[in-house]
Structure 1
């Protein structure tokens, strides 16, 4: 008995139908553009940035506690059990001469360009807002100058020469005569090293969530091009045309340099910690180092953890501009109405996979496409069941 040939357009042949962009009547409006593939250089740079994030962004409370414990305990051990002399115990070593003595200058050298490029981007080129962010470095520079000058004043005014106080009344003449000046020498190096490290950490926080700005720009640009006014959760929706254009241009132009300066800030912070240990082991008394470190920590806490967090305070914290980009989730498309009720899925399924701490937006786009295909199959099956019953 000959088998019956199935019609080419039988209902069962439509079950595997996958509509695409070439199918007439298939609407592509509302589909978000996919991110561009990353190059090898970009991947390698992102790997280095990820390592720097892990190194620099240690919990600040823990780091401050380590600073305090090290200044007190290690200084006592260094006085009781003198450590052997090394290259770092020499005051003329290269790192001490060309980095520590110019410590605040190096901190400004790597932080200022980073602050300018990041603030210019998330402030969309607004000059007044950029200057407000630069005010933080101005305040930090004033604090550095005020405290180090006060340390020098206390040592020189309230100290005395070990030879003849009447003959050598100043520190300069005492040292020039080959004698020693005894005074309360609060360690300016300890202050600079700790305060610089804390400022570097706080200013570098502007890079948190930086990669997500690219996706915000891409989605907002697509929504504006197609005239989609339904998407209102994008933080960039409130920007004007000029502000949005400035954001796009500055983000593309500055991002590579921002990453490079962030790496430099990480290396400088590590160098400051190494030189801090050297200073604790070989220089100053316990009380001189502890007082200096306490002043540095209190100055940082007052500015970055109290002053800049006050409502309507100026200046603002790093990363605060015309839109919010830190820890911002990408806006979801409006859910389509389904003909078949499905059970709620767990939140774990919707969590976006990450690589080196960065979200993989490409995988989410792939999941969205697969979900759309599944929805199409469900709608097709429903229509076929309805036609068969009729």
Structure 2
């Protein structure tokens, strides 16, 4: 017969074996593809904004010098009336508002626990600031060009009359497209930061004592859990669309810079103005933490963006 010590050792061994964690179930092909696509999207969208700013400013400067030194042959993209310019770039901010509006609404509805007041006042309101910059500055660019410019034929004092007569208007036409594209790219870069810790939010919402830890009601936590499960698939679709939109805007920025639509100074000025808008909005205004101003992307009671990734 086995000694008591041997039986106890065997018993402990069986307990250890039975206490082992079960292996995860095999990953479905569709789920694997979704993880892969989201991983690629994050690689595009979650490049540090400061890095993007450096690349965009250097790219505009180098590309403008290149276009002044080497005249590229005419192509479909050198024509201002090409379909991409007319349908997407010219209405670029409208497309951005649609995509970012959907993204901010869906994500903020989840992490604010369905608080409509916070969704609108604290998060969607950031788009009002972006729209303000777009509207005011594009109007300002037009005004500056009309004030400082002169017609090649002195009889025409207004730009409209000058161009209608077939003359050249010699002004300082700050590139609205360079400004718009960089403004869009930096705004998207900041807003999608709330998706960086989306898997952390999933883990956080599974904690049993979450309501106590975050000083929330059980109803709020329940709402957040339900919203996360039901809205995350739609959020991922919007993230995919934002990735394509980002790539497209960066491509159109290259086209705008390397072709002679504007002078070097006009393009560089537009680039710095767009960076200035980003700095005032995301580095100054939203950092004040004022209750009268919008919150930063992802800022909420759950504080999921500060959870360390496992």
Superposition TM-score, scaled by structure 1 size: 0.72
Rounded Cα–Cα distance in structure 1 between residues aligned with 2:202 and 2:239: 18
Q: Quick check: 1:71–1:280 contact (8 Å CA) kept in 2? A: yes
Rounded Cα–Cα distance in structure 1 between residues aligned with 2:305 and 2:126: 20
Question: Could you list the runs of 4 or more consecutive aligned residues of structure 1 that deviate by over 6 angstroms after TM superposition?
Answer: 32-37
Cα distance, 1:142 vs structure 2: 0.5
Correspondence for 2:178 among 187, 190, 202:
190
Partner of 2:256: 279
Pick closer, same or farther for the CA change 1:242–1:179 going to 2, 3 Å.
Answer: same
Cα distance, 1:85 vs structure 2: 2.3
Cα distance, 1:172 vs structure 2: 2.3
**CA offset digits 1:75-103 (Å, max 9, x no partner):** 12211221222221111212111111011
1:1-390 matches, cutoff 5 A: 6-7=1-2, 10-17=4-11, 18-19=14-15, 39-131=28-120, 132-163=122-153, 165-166=154-155, 168-220=156-208, 223=209, 237-282=214-259, 283-312=261-290, 314-329=293-308, 359=310
2:124 counterpart SS class: helix
Q: Quick check: 1:121–1:247 contact (8 Å CA) kept in 2? A: yes
Cα distance, 1:36 vs structure 2: 8.0
Cα distance, 1:293 vs structure 2: 0.6
1:326 counterpart SS class: helix
Rounded Cα–Cα distance in structure 1 between residues aligned with 2:46 and 2:160: 42
Q: Quick check: 1:212–1:325 contact (8 Å CA) kept in 2? A: yes
**CA offset digits 1:89-139 (Å, max 9, x no partner):** 111212111111011011111110000011111101112211211111001
Cα distance, 1:273 vs structure 2: 0.9
Cα distance, 1:38 vs structure 2: 5.1
1:82 counterpart SS class: coil
Which structure shows the higher helix fraction? Answer: 2
Rounded Cα–Cα distance in structure 2 between residues aligned with 1:219 and 1:36: 22
Unaligned runs of 5+ in 2: none
Rounded Cα–Cα distance in structure 2 between residues aligned with 1:270 and 1:259: 17
Cα distance, 1:34 vs structure 2: 10
1:16 counterpart SS class: helix
Cα distance, 1:237 vs structure 2: 4.4
Alignment length (residue pairs):
304
Rounded Cα–Cα distance in structure 2 between residues aligned with 1:205 and 1:268: 16
Rounded Cα–Cα distance in structure 1 between residues aligned with 2:79 and 2:189: 29
Which is greater in Rg?
Answer: 1
Cα distance, 1:35 vs structure 2: 8.4
Q: Quick check: 1:217–1:236 contact (8 Å CA) kept in 2? A: no
C-alpha RMSD of matched pairs (Å) = 2.6
Pick closer, same or farther for the CA change 1:71–1:155 going to 2, 3 Å.
Answer: same
Rounded Cα–Cα distance in structure 2 between residues aligned with 1:236 and 1:258: 26
Rounded Cα–Cα distance in structure 2 between residues aligned with 1:235 and 1:177: 73
Rounded Cα–Cα distance in structure 1 between residues aligned with 2:65 and 2:7: 84
Superposition TM-score, scaled by structure 2 size: 0.90
Rounded Cα–Cα distance in structure 2 between residues aligned with 1:77 and 1:216: 50
